[in-house]
Amino acid sequence: MGNKTKLKIGEFSQMMQVTVKTLRHYEQKGLLKPNEVDEWTGYRYYTVGQMQKLQSIRELQRLGFSLDEIRDLYEDDSHTPEIQQIDEKIRETERLLRQLTTRRDRLLEWCDSRKKIKKMEKFGIQRLPEIIVASHREIIPNYAALGPLCVNKIGPEMQRLGCKCPPPGYCFTIEHNKEYKPTDVDIEYCEQVEALGTDSDIIQFKRLPAVPKALCLKHIGPYEKFYESFAEAFRYIEEHGYKVVGQPRTSYVDGAWNQDDPEKWLSVIQIPIE
C-alpha cells in the first residue's frame, strides 16, 4: 500500500512542513532524491517511506550532524550513527558548550561593568587594582590624533604581538606634558592585557601597581572639554580634604569607535588621592 501512494513535491512539502527549496537542496546533496521524476512533466513524486527518511534527517540535523555527515550515514546503508560517531558529536558539543559558556561569562562581565559605569554617580572613590598594560608613548600633533593612532598603529601591533585583553576592556591615557599644550601632546596610551609580553619598538609591557584610592569622575562629551571635569574634580578633592598623589588617568568607555556623536562620548577621569 505504501508504494502506491505518490505525493507531489508540493504536497510532500506541506505535510512534512519543509519548504520545496529545502527539499531541492536535499536532492542536490544526494540526501533525499524523489522516488520518481516524470520525464514529460518534470514533476517530482515522493513516497510515504521517504517521510520517515526525512524525519530522521531532520532529527540528525537537530543533533548537530551536517548534511554531508548524514548523507555518508545513508550511503553506508545505516540510518543511525555509530556509537563512535555519537561520542565524537558529544565531545564536539561539549567543546562548543565550553566556548559558549566562556563567551557568555565574558559578555556578562562586560555588561555588568557597563551598567556600573552608567549607574555610577558623577563622583566615586574606587580602588584601582594592579594591572599589566601594553603601553605606547608618543608626541602626537593634537588630541584628535589619538583615535587614528590607536586604530592604525597600536591596535595592529598589539594584535601582532598576540595580546589578550581581559573583558570588559580597560584602556586609558596618561599625559606627560608638564603644562597644557593644544599641540605636540606627550601622551602615553595604556591598555590592560592578560600577561606581560616581549617589548617591541611600538609597545612596552609593564605592571602598574594598585592605586588604593582614586577619585573617579564621569565625563560625558568631547575630549576638548576635559578641563570642565578636571575643574570639578579638583574642587571636590579640595572640599573633601584629599590630596593628589599620582598622575591622573583618562579611561575611555564610549568614543569615536562606537558613538558618532561626541556629545555622547563617555570617559572616566581617575585621579589617585589620599
Nine-digit cell string for 206: 609593564
pLDDT at 49 over 70: yes
Tens-digit pLDDT profile for residues 145-188: 888 898 899 999 999 999 999 887 888 988 888 887 778 889 99
| Domain range annotation of the chain | 2-78, 82-117, 120-272
How much is the pLDDT for 145?
85
Tens-digit pLDDT profile for residues 236-250: 899 999 999 988 998
Q: Is 205 helix (H, G, I), strand (E, B) or coil?
A: strand
Pairing of strands 249-254, 123-128: unpaired
Q: Report the CATH number of the 2-78 domain.
A: 1.10.1660.10
Mean pLDDT (the chain) is 88
Tens-digit pLDDT profile for residues 15-35: 999 999 999 999 999 899 998
Rounded Cα distance, 213 and 246, in Å: 10
Residue 218 belongs to what H/E stretch? strand 211-220
CATH entry 3.40.1160.10 includes domain 120-272: no
> What single-letter amino acid sits at 258?
N
**Beta carbons within 10 angstroms of residue 171's beta carbon:** 19
Tens-digit pLDDT profile for residues 188-216: 999 999 999 999 999 999 999 999 999 99
Phi, psi of 152, rounded to the nearest 5 degrees: -90, -20
Say which residue, 143 or 102, is predicted with more confidence: 102
How much is the pLDDT for 195?
94
**Among candidates 16, 81, 20, 1, which has minimal Cα distance to 50?**
16
